[in-house]
Chain A
Amino acid sequence: MHSGDAARTLSDDLIGFRNLVRDALQKLGATEREILMLREYEVLSYSEIAEILRLPVNTVRSRLFRARMALKEHLEPATQVNRAER
């Protein structure tokens, strides 16, 4: 309800961009999203994230990579280089 109100006051470009990122984040798994948030916004180290989520550090690293690649693909579908699958 509020986001709708907000959207009307913002420019179309911004709405497009916001929706794009939000959709991309929504498509991630819960854990991947969480790892991504903890890394990007809380600027925690891999080991700190691993400690908080009780995952091995390697798992955090691979999931973070997967999350970033998924986000990148969603944000820039035209320039896909699916390196994660290689």
Chain B
Amino acid sequence: MTTHPIAGDELMAYLDGELTVERAAGVAAHLEHCRECQGLAADLQRVSRRLLEWQIEESSSVLQHWLAEALQAVEEPKTDTRRKGSYLLVRPWTWAASTAAVLILVGVMVWQTGSRESERLVIPHELAQSDGAEPARLAQSMRAMLMESATSGAVGGVIGNVPQAAPAPPPEEAVQTGRPLIVRTAEMSITTREFDRTRPEVTRIVDAHDGYIAQLSMNSPSDHGRSLSATLRVPAGQLDRVFSELRKLGRIQSESQAGEEVTQQYIDLSARLKNARNTEERLTEILRQRTGKLSDVLAVEEQIDRTRGEIERMNAELKNLSNRITLATIQLQVSEECRQALRVDHSSTLGRIRNAAVEGFRGVIEGAIAILIFLLAYGPGLLILAVLVLFPGRALWKVVQQRTRPEQQS
């Protein structure tokens, strides 16, 4: 080492891409003309290659089969107990099928001589027996590695098959049976004459189908009929029945249904959650077993905190998604039909009568005033005219009468 300008581990760090740019340039220049270093570099690369080959060989065929079975044995019983609650009552045949599945799995587990050992598959399986607590940790890190490589596809094709063999962890029966996961939503708009009956009726329908009212608001404006708008959540399987019962509430104005497939989203989220949990487990294990500088401990703890935050977030997301899958959402609009017309007519009739009365009264007064004004304006003129017409008329009348009287006497 003293005579050679480049140390062995420095050369290795160069091959691993771990040197600073300046150091890497120096090593690269040296490597070009140093045969000894070229030999060492080739050795190091060969060792890495052989380890990878070994990893792929180990996980092939039989071992991979075991791995699939072991993962199934570890995961399935848990998921089974979790989903019993919701499906047990609804579908008896599902219960029977899952019981059979549990029995088979128990059989597999017994045959596997315990799940702890089956978790240590692949490489650490053999190593595990060599010393005490260490292998368990190693097994865990290897398992986490398998999960990671399975999602990223980093360590070759053979390992890439793992996720298909391993069932998705969620409580959903559908994922295991390969049925698609669908988020169902529906909208309905109704008009009714019996608005007072509507609200208790909606509550009854929702309760009868194990659903709940997520949101409800009522409006009763003075110049319109009352209206109700509600968001109902009912089990996805009951959606059609709930819908047909809601139709009886009144006259349908519009209705629509929609479904969004989220199988892939669900599986992705589950896989990411599982990876994060593995990471957390591994970090916790490391924290428990190692002692070191305070700053290091704090750094790992910080990392654990971050991972936990991530897990919480994904958990919430997954729960929300499951919720949307198991419970369909109905947007219900109910509006009232007749009351509005009656009330408006009633008030306007009175008004119209009152208005007509006022109009009539005002008309009479206006008329009287108009006549008075007419008399005042034209009266004197007419009086003079009358006098002018009346006196000559009267004189003429007398003259005519005097002429006819002597004719009668004679």
Contact = CB atoms under 8 A, between A and B. Distances in A.
B1 A71 contact: no
Contacts of B137: 34
A19 B296 CA distance: 37
Contacts of B155: 41
Nearest to A55: B292
B8 interface: yes
Given A22-B123, A83-B40, A86-B4, 12 more contacts: A1-B113, A6-B62, A21-B50, A25-B123, A42-B141, A46-B18, A54-B293, A64-B9, A68-B44, A83-B8, A86-B1, A86-B8
Interface string B6-30: 0011001100101000000000000
B47 A68 contact: yes
Nearest to B131: A30
B126 interface: yes
A64 B12 contact: yes
A18 B57 contact: yes
Interface in A40-84: 40-43, 45-46, 51-55, 61-62, 64-65, 68-69, 71-72, 75-76, 81, 83-84
B134 A18 contact: no
Contacts of A36: 51
Given A9-B61, A33-B127, A54-B293, A69 B8 contact: yes
A9 B282 CA distance: 34
Contact of B292 (A40, A54, A69, A72): A54
Interface in B31-48: 36, 39-40, 43-44, 46-48
Contacts of B282: 52
Contacts of B52: 40
Interface of B (DSSP majority class): helix
B58 A68 contact: no
A19 to B, nearest CB: 9
B43 A21 contact: no
A17 B18 contact: no
Interface of A (DSSP majority class): helix
Interface string B262-291: 000000000000000000001100100011
A51 B296 contact: yes
Interface residues of A, number: 46
Contact of B16 (A14, A39, A62): A39
A60 B43 CA distance: 19
Q: Which 9 A-B pairs have the closest CB atoms?
A: A54-B292, A65-B9, A6-B62, A21-B54, A30-B134, A54-B296, A54-B290, A72-B47, A40-B51
Nearest to B50: A75
Contact of B138 (A1, A37, A43, A71): A37
Contacts of B48: 40, 68
Interface in A10-41: 10, 14, 17-18, 21-22, 25-26, 30, 33-34, 36-41
Interface in B123-144: 123, 125-127, 130-131, 134, 137-138, 141-142, 144
A6 B130 contact: no
B138 A33 contact: yes
Given A21-B50, A54-B300, A34 B141 contact: yes
B299 A22 contact: no
Contacts of B40: 81, 83
